[in-house]
Structure 1
Amino acid sequence: MCGILGTVPYTPYDKFKPALDTLYHRGPDSFGVESVDHDVTLGHRRLSILDVSETGHQPMKSENDRYLITFNGEIYNFIEIKKELALKGHSFKSTSDTEVLLKAFLEWGEECVHKFNGMWAFAIWDKETKKLFISRDRYGKKPLFYAQINGQFVFASEMKAIFPFFKQLEISEDFHWMKKNIFFYESTDKCLIKGIQRFPAGHSAVYKAGKLNTYRYHNTLDNLVEVPKSYDEQVEKFRELFMDACKLRMRSDVTIGTALSGGLDSSATISAMANLAKDNGSYSKDWQHAFVASFPGTPLDESYYAKKVTDNLGIGATFVDINPLQHWDKLEEYFYKFEDLYITSPIPMIMLYESVKKNGVTVTLDGHGADELLSGYQQGNLEALWDAKLSPSKTKDILNIYQDSINEDKEQYKRTNSSKLYTDFMSKKTVKKILGKTMPSIDNGHPNFKKLDNHAQYLYAMFHENILPTLLRNYDRYAMINSVEIRMPFMDHRIVNFVNSLPYSSKIGGGYTKRIVRDALDPYMPKEVTWRKSKIGFSSPIVNWMQNDLSDWFLSTINDTDFLQSNLVSNPKDLQTKITKIVKGENNEFSDAQKCWSELSPYIWEKSVLSGKSFPNK
């Protein structure tokens, strides 16, 4: 896991190195800068995880000096690929996955990406053809941005490394649309800064002679699989895939752990790790490190359930009490490093991964992706009503699941009359069907999209196009701000292909969301966690903060002249009134407070990112 930067044509070292160092937090262990003639400069900031010696240094050259690579990410199945390459006559000088990636490119060319089980953003320069090959992993777990600036092509892991190549920064013409559509811009090429574009997930590209030719190499719909007909067999297959996904992601030359919430997904992950650790496999034995964000006295606190898990496994845990005052003075620095906008404060998540790093852990295996893949959110469950085909028993089950999955921490989610829920949903869906409206998705014209049931279509868009891409972006930043790598077993492409091929009844049913996960991992988890129906999101107790610890900060901010004159806040005076009511206790609605934070964020972003302030790299 690292930070990468590159330019075509080359950039002088004295200009390139400061730009590369804006990514110091992504790779504090070492750095490398290589130029090939006047054609290209590639840079790398390294977070050492596999082969921590000098033989894993980047940028890395091929033995004949023809190719040069800079790579951010991990290829989890590098050992298996290495064995395959060795049989084809390749030899290796290191135990790094970077060398395996480079030689896979030598052997299979651009098709090599289909061999990889991992997360990546990399670029390979071909000295002979003067071509730059670029690729980003299937689902966009690793970030990649690019820009064309005065005839120079610049790419980097974060936008801030591209900033120095501009004469001045300007907001994108899409900025106001983006701030109102927080969950919908990450899967597009739109960026908050004018002139910068996001390289798409699941795509590769070739840059040559001033032109970037991008193409899609992976589409989940092209990789659907035959699934066992019986549910019990599906459970066995899921368990097999998930265990192997965890096993591959436990490969590390440094200490690993997990960010444990006490919810199903992270609990399933660490429980699988514990079970795997009983065997002598090719993965880290130093995994017994659980980190729990604790919010004492608020509805967000899940430490009770997290302790159930660690007690069941016989390991300890580090409980991190989230006190915003400890880090609020760094808010602008965090916004600068985060770079984007979101609906909640980044403080709790950054504090959690800071504790991970301070306790000597560099890699975590976390449960991200399961909610979007397997219907962990309340609203998505209703979509299965259309698939129940008027079956009274199935309909009742789906409605009960919907009602029981109300978030404990969200006051705006109230239990609703089930008959009204059913009637409202089915009538609206029927009208849409009559009008010929399809599920909103960039892939809804794909033949295999039409083969998915209604529930699967909804989850497909959530996973690939809105909620998950945003969360992947967020957690990459939260962790990398602290030089920590997150690995996500639920996002193994074999699992994604398998789950997308399952009927809705394997994902929700029998009274539960994420049914197949519960049945597959039940033997390894405490029952109180496996069969828990309520859900708590990892967020900020924003109402509590606004009315207590941070009341002075909020009032000071909204009465500042710069805030009242900000062009990035839609209506400063109106927002000032809304925030004042919450701070004074006249409004205690979580949803309203969260909206206030979303409306305020562009102002903080403006002060930290657009202003050109300098924040320390170390």
Structure 2
Amino acid sequence: MCGIYGIWHLDGRPVDLAALRTSTDRLRHRGPDDEGYLLAGPQGGLVASFGGADTDERLGLPSLDEAHGERFSLAFGFRRLAILDLSPAGHQPMADASGRYWIVFNGEIYNYLELRTELQQLGHTFRSGGDTEVILAAYAQWGAACLERFNGMWAFAIWDSECRELFLARDRFGIKPLYYVAARRTFAFASEIKALVGRHAHPFAPEPYAVYRFLDDGRLPGPQSGATFFKGVRSLPPGHFMHVSGAGSSAPQRYYDVVLADHAGNSGDAPDALLAAYRDLFIDAVRLELRSDVAVGTCLSGGIDSSSIVCAVNWLMAESGMSTAQIGARQKTFSAVYEDDGRHNERRHIERVLRATAADGHFVVPTVERLNADMERLAWHQDEPFQSTSIFAQWCVMSLAREHGVTVLLDGQGADELLAGYRPYVYHLRDLARRARGVELVAEAAAIHARSGLPLPALLRGAIIHALPAPAIDLVRHGRRRLHAPPAGLRREFAAEQQRAARADIAPWREQDSLDRHLRDSVRESSLPHLLRYEDRNSMAFGIEARVPFLDHRLVEFAFQRVPHLRIHQGWTKWVHRQALAGLLPDAIAWRSDKVGFETPEVAWQRELIAGRPDLFADGVASGAYLDLPTVRRAVAVWRDHGGDTRRVWRWVSLELWLRAWNVEH
């Protein structure tokens, strides 16, 4: 896990070395262990490596201060978090054996050992023991098709010094970030936006429509579009690559997408065989993601997803011959808990998993006092506004892991999107209604009612209405959008300017006309990419690499193509996972129906936070460019005294904190 940066003046202008250092330094938190630079001349041939204050002296690299910028039009900057091959051999930017290809890489290729063996058989040699050199050899051997062979998470750029071309790629699901700016015959890329934007680089300017959508209903820029909250800053979409040459940058090209099953309902495979295959895939995903030369721990919330990972790690260690004492010494878990016994406190469930596995549990209690103290830092690391304070609990967990010397954390992100968490019952019931399976529809609705307490008439009514033909539903949705009032609290001019675009910005209903399509949209666009961004920034703020076994592409493909009919059964979401892990996961965890998600005491925290920060909505604050501040202050006072839309109030707070983080003049 690392921080990468690069810039190429396509017209041959020299790289500003001071700006190069500033951009790379802004990523230091992502890679505190090493620092490196590559500079290349405008006509090819001249390629040189340099170091900095954090570069290992054994490499013998000259300092960047000794470079002469007028000779170089392309530069890479790199910050390393050492995970595999901790020696100087893992230093980046790294060249392949021929010296033609140079790479800066952020992420992990979990199947690098298997690929290394295959490439050696094809004649490639290796000088290091890590995965970066494997990527270089794979690209030299297979070109862009190498991406199809990788199992992992990645964002990287490869400079072909012979063809004078950049190749950039991002992993299938966007676990690792990659942003870029293409303007004025300059192309720049980085792991985080803060390396691309500022007085030393691309000017800061909010994207008005992104701000409007966020204030309206919390929607964030869609990952597949590449849009961000910043004018001129793009995100390379998940599952895409792109080329940049002297003529400019090409449009991103898709190399991967989630493919749905071509059958409706049951695939025809025996359920027991499917459950066994699912279990094997899940355990193998965890096994691969344990590959590391540093300590590995696990986030543990007490829910089925993170608990499954802890239990799988425990099983793998026991299978390798470790004793209970050895497992306890090796497996550390990190959890956020709360002092009260309310719905947010998962301690009793966490302790049940710890007793079952002998893992060494560590706890942190997030508080509003710490939230208040860390808020500006949290906003700075996130780069873009965020939807709620729930990410602060994760922030505290990452900090706790760093305090205990753990560098890699496994986490359960992605399971809800694959396996129908978040209770997407209406899509499941609509599928049954559209297939005219009335008896099963009523039975399933009754089971869901029994498990969740949701009213049975509402479940059936929603299923039947949403089973209407797509044009009818589209007509209703477009009508609602036209009647939709501007978000409360906005300046009138800003709202009027953006609302015309908002009325046209509505996807056809056919994009979400089934549970499968809804979940695929959650993976590609509406849910998972944003959660992955939060996790990447939270973990890297503390020099932690977060790994997500549920997003092993083999498991994702199995969930969508082989067992879509086993996601929800008899009112249980994630049914295939609960069943497949029988005997591995304690029943009391596997069959929980009261999990509330990774939440925080949001309302109480916000009340106290806002009460102690009267400056947030004072006249003259940066968000006044978008918010009608007198209206906002009145609405906040009503919310404080009588309750109301807590998420809307938070969006106002988050916008102001974001603008302050970017030092907007006001």
Question: TM (normalized to structure 1)?
Answer: 0.89
Q: Which residue of 1 aligns with 2:502?
A: none
- Equivalent of 1:361 in 375, 397, 406: 406
Counterparts of 1:131-530 in structure 2 under 5 Å?
A: 131-164=165-198, 165-166=200-201, 168-179=203-214, 180=216, 182-187=218-223, 188-213=225-250, 214-221=252-259, 229-280=269-320, 287-297=330-340, 298-345=342-389, 346-378=391-423, 380-388=424-432, 389-400=435-446, 402-403=448-449, 415-432=453-470, 454-502=514-562, 504-530=564-590
- Equivalent of 1:76 in 102, 110, 120: 110
1:194-250 CA-partner distances (Å, limit 9, x unpaired):
111111110111100142122111122289899661211111110011011000000
- Bigger mean CA offset, 238-247 vs 31-40: 31-40
> 2:576 matched to 1:576?
no
Deviation at 1:504, TM superposition (A): 4.2
- Bigger mean CA offset, 67-76 vs 517-526: 517-526
Q: 1:344, 1:540 within 8 Å by CA — same for their partners in 2?
A: no
Local SS of the residue matching 2:638 = helix
- Structure 2 CA distance for aligned equivalents of residues 116 and 288 of structure 1: 27
Local SS of the residue matching 1:350 = helix
Q: 1:344, 1:597 within 8 Å by CA — same for their partners in 2?
A: yes
> 2:24 matched to 1:17?
no
The aligned amino acid for 1:259 is: C
- Structure 2 CA distance for aligned equivalents of residues 601 and 210 of structure 1: 40
Q: 1:2, 1:26 within 8 Å by CA — same for their partners in 2?
A: yes
| Cα distance, 1:435–1:294 mapped onto 2, change above 3 Å | closer
The aligned amino acid for 2:470 is: K
- Structure 2 CA distance for aligned equivalents of residues 439 and 498 of structure 1: 33
Unaligned runs of 5+ residues in structure 1 are 407-414, 614-618
- Structure 2 CA distance for aligned equivalents of residues 520 and 612 of structure 1: 56
Question: TM (normalized to structure 2)?
Answer: 0.83
> 2:105 matched to 1:40?
no
Local SS of the residue matching 1:120 = strand
1:129-173 CA-partner distances (Å, limit 9, x unpaired):
100011000011100110023311000001110114536311124
Q: 1:384, 1:398 within 8 Å by CA — same for their partners in 2?
A: no
RMSD: 2.8
The aligned amino acid for 2:298 is: T
Local SS of the residue matching 2:39 = strand
1:432-474 CA-partner distances (Å, limit 9, x unpaired):
366789999x9x99xxx99x98211111111111111111111
- Structure 1 CA distance for aligned equivalents of residues 98 and 219 of structure 2: 45
- Equivalent of 1:93 in 116, 122, 127: 127
- Structure 2 CA distance for aligned equivalents of residues 43 and 177 of structure 1: 34
Q: 1:453, 1:504 within 8 Å by CA — same for their partners in 2?
A: no
Local SS of the residue matching 1:207 = strand
Q: Which residue of 1 aligns with 2:649?
A: 596
Local SS of the residue matching 1:550 = helix
Percentage of matched positions with identical amino acids: 30
- Structure 1 CA distance for aligned equivalents of residues 79 and 261 of structure 2: 34
- Structure 2 CA distance for aligned equivalents of residues 612 and 31 of structure 1: 33
- Structure 2 CA distance for aligned equivalents of residues 205 and 372 of structure 1: 27
> 2:5 matched to 1:5?
yes
Local SS of the residue matching 1:105 = helix
| Cα distance, 1:437–1:68 mapped onto 2, change above 3 Å | farther
> 2:663 matched to 1:605?
no
Q: Which residue of 2 aligns with 1:550?
A: 609
Q: Which residue of 2 aligns with 1:411?
A: none
Deviation at 1:317, TM superposition (A): 0.7
- Structure 1 CA distance for aligned equivalents of residues 460 and 261 of structure 2: 33
Q: 1:182, 1:341 within 8 Å by CA — same for their partners in 2?
A: no
- Equivalent of 1:58 in 84, 92, 95: 92
| Cα distance, 1:62–1:222 mapped onto 2, change above 3 Å | farther
- Structure 2 CA distance for aligned equivalents of residues 405 and 183 of structure 1: 30
- Structure 1 CA distance for aligned equivalents of residues 104 and 208 of structure 2: 32
Q: 2:381, 2:541 within 8 Å by CA — same for their partners in 1?
A: yes
Bigger Rg, which one: 2
